[in-house]
Amino acid sequence: MAENKRTCLYDKHVALGALMSPFGGFDMPIQYAGIVEEHNAVRNSVGVFDVSHMGEVEITGPDAEKFVNHIFTNDIKDAEKGKIFYGMMLYPNGGTVDDLLVYKMGDNDLLLVINAANIDKDVAWINEQAEGYDVKVDHQSDYYGQLAVQGPEAEATVEKVLGIGCAELTFYTFKTTEYDGETIIVSRTGYTGEDGFEIYASHKAIVKMWDLLISAGVQPCGLGCRDTLRFEVGLPLYGDELSADITPIMAGLGFFVKLDKDEFIGKDAVAKQKAEGAPMKLVGLELEGKAIPRHGYDVLNAEGDTVGSVTTGYHAISVDKSIAMAFVKPQYAALDTPLSVRIRKKTFPAVVVKKKFYKKSYKK
């Protein structure tokens, strides 16, 4: 079996005593001080994540915008430089290749930020679809490291500790700037429900910034709390709420699928599903008591029949409740529908609630 890759900060994580574990083909930090402490640091002050495992692919050339619009569900046509778009790449049947961010770097210059576990598959897919388009596909994942500085104090931290101006950025915008003699990218998106910035730079610059942040007392955060944070605000994780078998319509992400576009791969399939109704729908569930629903656990109706399954579940830190996201048959998707979840050999009563369990605090 191939060895897991390591990010440029691997030695830093080990030195800080992080619990390391494989994720998306990389050895990644799951936690340092503990998931609860790291989660609360991001909700209440600031934390820093190593997200250098994410993939970056730059698409340039005369057909770059036309091509990206062809493989992407959102619409980047006529977008201003500095804008970021969230959306998906789909298979012709509407299943999801990946969910991703598209950065409008310039005219016919787009940076695609993709999920770590999908890098090889995505790059192969992009190259395959590029045939017949006048574009250059430049896979840059080995060059870029990436930090995510997240929390209510993120803006002040990036400006003061790193000396990088970011206050002027609005939600889902970015800029390029100089740092230590190189051009870096700073964006404001966040995957935690809090205000946050992402910094893309060379490995050397990322290591330097990490050291400055840690020395300034910023809490290092692992993938454990990255998951609890994104889950509480109803954000999807590829492999749980999206996959080759899950369309954006099923996942409740139709807003990012622009059916008024001329065409994109998978358009017909998702348009049909939107018109006729999806076979399963993603819902929020709140369970009675402290039992924790996990990925793959069965969801049952009042008669005890299996009508769905859990995608992500936790005893949520910020709301102190046992909650889950789950795919259920559409007739059980209405708010307040009583259901139950089978956890090992017992069943626990649950009720359908909104997927956003905790209020987002983005600075828009």
Are the C-beta atoms of residues 121 and 139 closer than 8 Å to each other?
Answer: no
User: Positive or negative CA dihedral for 262, 264, 172, 362?
Assistant: positive
Category of 77 on φ-ψ map: left (φ > 0), alpha (ψ -120 to 50) or beta: beta
- Indicate the pTM of the whole model: 0.96
Distance of CA 227 to the CA centre of its chain: 9
Residue 361: band (very low, low, confident or very high) from pLDDT cuts 50, 70, 90: confident
For residue 334, give Cα distances in angstroms to 108, 181, 234, 323, 328. Answer: 43, 55, 17, 16, 10
Residue among 203, 190, 183 nearest 155 (CA) = 190
Q: 162, 213 in Cβ contact below 8 A?
A: yes
User: Are the C-beta atoms of 295 and 312 separated by less than 8 Å?
Assistant: yes
Q: Are 67 and 131 in contact (CB under 8 A)?
A: no
Q: How many CB atoms lie within 10 A of CB 319?
A: 14
The residue whose two tokens read 């942040």 is: 213
Q: pLDDT tens, 315-337?
A: 999 999 999 999 999 999 999 99
The 10s digit of each residue's pLDDT in 286-313 is 999 889 999 999 999 999 999 999 999 9
| pLDDT score, position 73 | 98
Each residue of 57-96: pLDDT tens digit?
999 999 999 999 999 999 999 999 999 999 999 999 999 9
Q: What is the pLDDT of residues 218-266, one digit of tens each?
A: 999 999 999 999 999 999 999 999 999 999 999 999 999 999 999 999 9
End-to-end CA distance of the chain: 45
Strand order of the sheet with strand 26-31?
5-6, 26-31, 19-23
